[in-house]
Structure 1
Amino acid sequence: MGSKKADKPTSLEEMILQDIEPDKPLPTDSLPASEPGSKEKESDPYQRLGLAAEDMVLLQDAGIDPDDAAAYLRAGIGASAMLRLFDTGVYPSDALSYHKAGITALDDVLLLFESGISPRDADVYLRAGIVSPEVMAELYARDVYPADALNYAKSGIASQAMMFLYENGIYPDDANGYLRAGITSPNVMAALYAKDVYPRDAIQYRNVGVPSPDDMMLLYQGKIFPGDADGYLSAGISSPEVMATLYDSDVYPRDAIQYRNVGVSSPDDMVLLYQEDIQPGVADGYLRAGISVPKDMVTLWNADIDPARAVRYRQSGVTVQDLIKK
């Protein structure tokens, strides 16, 4: 018979006798040593940003998640600056937009944001040639918004002048009109506007030959509008003061032109004749009779010697002096 197979030891004592150890887990100190915190480092998304440990803690405490931090970094903003921006409400998308618009300094970004100037607004101000965030903020505070600034800039108006003009009710189109009239001074524009000489009026005055803003204001206040001024100029009267005198004496442009056409060129003579009710046609009759002095015309007119009688007297050989003495 073959030998009987030995039974498997069942007791601890038997196992010890046979030099067999019971199944049991390896002691923990036999595991390979691992680097403290290695799992955290492998799974911590802040690690890929390359930030210092203390910065990561600050960002976590402030509630700035890794994606936001990454966006701030793309805008060139470091950890400490992120905290200020995030606390103010300038979130990563805003910061990145400011950065793309050319606003990179932290204080400038904060100033614009707190002034209500969005990245798009800042970009338009920059296109208007306004590079200072302080000036942008001042313009915005005075209601000179980006579109206005851009329109002013297209007409060549500087930022300080923009504020002055806007406060005086002179908007970009108005400023452009004054510039077309040859008026470049914002102060003069404001003076004209205050006297109700609006851009269209200024352009018309200039077109008829009145380039001086002071003359424009004088004429407009005297209710001598561009068409009237053109009439006086056609009569050879270039002085706004003389135009005003004639107008106040009811010698209107048409009358002045008619007087000039018959040979009466002096504004004073025009006024004298008109006040004595000697119309241009009557003056022409006296001139045909050889009477060229307006005062003599007045003398004859008041003596009821009209031009027709004066002509007959002259034809009969009566001299002007004798005629006046009659």
Structure 2
Amino acid sequence: METAISEIDHLRVALAASEVARQEAERRATGAEAMVAHLKLLIAKMRQDRFGASSERGRRLLEQLELELEDLETAIAEDDPANVPGTVARASETDVGRQRPARRPFPAALPRERVVIPAPVQCPCCGSSRLAKLGESMTETLEVVPRQFRVIQTVREKFSCRDCESITQPPAPFHPIARGRAGPWLLSTILTGKFADHLPLNRQSAAFAREGIDLDTSTLADWVGASTATLAPLIAQVRAHVLAAQRLHGDDTTVPVLAKSRTVTGRLWTYVRDDRPFGGPAPPAAWFRYSRDRKGELNCPGFCGDRTTREVR
């Protein structure tokens, strides 16, 4: 009898402790969700001011708020009991008031891989083999296939004429870089990572090394320089098209530039031509130009009208 009473008391203490822990978790989740809603409101208000000096001053603050929002949402998902291994996923009281983003269907253009789970050959209830298909349920899961590097071997066969003894061979294939061993897709990946995603070449070199491809930073820099020189005529055409507009929108963005024992503030000038709101037939375009200061003086010809130096980070 005393053993049963002691077990009951132990269960009561455990139940009270679990209730206190549950209330504490709900309190933390409620506070975090309130902070998430507040940050989303601030970010939405700051994104409304897309142009002007005020938006440039608030750009760094907006980036910090987005990082803080990301950390809070990650912490909420980490504390969710449904994500704990070995537990059964069920809706809790905190999930009722939490607004999750609406699940949108995957793009129809994505390739689909159909995996069919084998159906039972016998009824699990009575053991009968007379089963008739009523339909099927489908669950779509988004997956990614890691990028694959491949070496394209272009073979040019040589032939000798039996009559005149002349040797013929097809011409060599075209390469974006003369005597280079980089294909156009690899070069576009490197340029997009550097100029669009702001990923320095040393980090790209380290990422390639993790995938078993040894590409030195100096090699990547040479490829970037050769690619910008190759694209110079196209950029000149974009510049002429943009500056020929009757209505031209301009703005500048500050860029930290490494200098001797200090950091200076460079400028990335943006000129936009867009006549669509005014019924113009010309296609929209944007032209970017870099200068080391606010004067906007041309430093050296090349990339985007002015070569973007490697000191830009």
What TM-score range do you get, normalising by the shorter chain? under 0.3
Q: Using CA pairs below 8 Å that are at least 6 residues apart, which structure has the higher relative contact order?
A: 2
Query: Which TM-score applies when normalising by structure 2?
Result: 0.17
Query: Which TM-score applies when normalising by structure 1?
Result: 0.16
More strand by share: 2
